[in-house]
Amino acid sequence: MGSDGGTCDDRVGVVTRYAVPPDNGPLGAARAPARVLGVDPGLTRCGLGVIEGVPGRPPALVAAGVVRTGADQDVAARLLAIEEEIERWLTEYRPDTVAVERVFSQHNVRTVMGTAQAGAVAIVCAARRGLPVALHTPSEVKAAVTGNGRADKAQVTAMVMRLLRMTERPSPADTADALALAICHLWRAPAIRMRQATAAGTRTAPDGSNVRRLTGGGT
């Protein structure tokens, strides 16, 4: 999903944003819509995407963009620029949850280090505000969005555009990846909560509340 290759702007913290299409319509009355900020981490390009919706239904696009930092800049300045922009997005769009790509080891150690550093910045920004953070692997994202955990970038981008009713292809790919992360989490959130409730010894009631699961043979 994430990539730090390609050309970049020489300035630190340059942000590219996309025009937001009209709202997708009603998001469902049974459950209040949730807003998710997806972060596709990277030092050269850090994709950001905000969506809003309910599980099981096409979400609405709120905002999408990418933070660019120059490869010739000091790493501390690059991470600071990413942190400042993520903070601005958190303030402006007020997401309920932040979804970040889970970083796996790659052959290029330098690239994976930068990706992990940018991802950690996003996690810290969310934690500072008390927001839940979810980590999703690239295969989880691909499976959630396209139904195929081995889908290529073109397939992911096409499905993101279809689900969000985007008329323009999001570019660079980091923007589409960030939106895909947000969609993945929005749709997987109920299953995640159920697993967490099970691990904590609770089950989820029909109204969404947690019910303590009793064990043992007490009266």
101 is known as an active-site residue: yes
Q: Which residues contact 84 (CB under 8 A, 6 or more apart)?
A: 13
Q: Are 144 and 183 in contact (CB under 8 A)?
A: yes
Contacts 24+ apart (CB under 8 A), 124-128: 124/83, 125/83, 125/86, 125/87, 125/90, 125/98, 126/90, 126/98
Instruction: Give the DSSP H/E element, type plus range, for residue 115.
Output: helix 109-128
β-strand partners of 11: none
Amino acid, single-letter form, for residue 130: G
Catalytic-role residue among 4, 52, 83, 174: 174
| Catalytic residue list contains 40 | yes
User: Bridge-partner residues for 51, per DSSP?
Assistant: 36, 61
> Cα 47 from chain centroid?
9
Catalytic residue of the set 4, 40, 83, 85: 40
Q: What angle do CA 133, 177, 46 make, to 5 degrees?
A: 70
Q: Which of 4, 52, 85, 101 is catalytic?
A: 101
- Whether 4 is a known active-site residue: answer no
Residue corresponding to tokens 């239904």: 57
Q: Which residues are catalytic?
A: 40, 101, 174
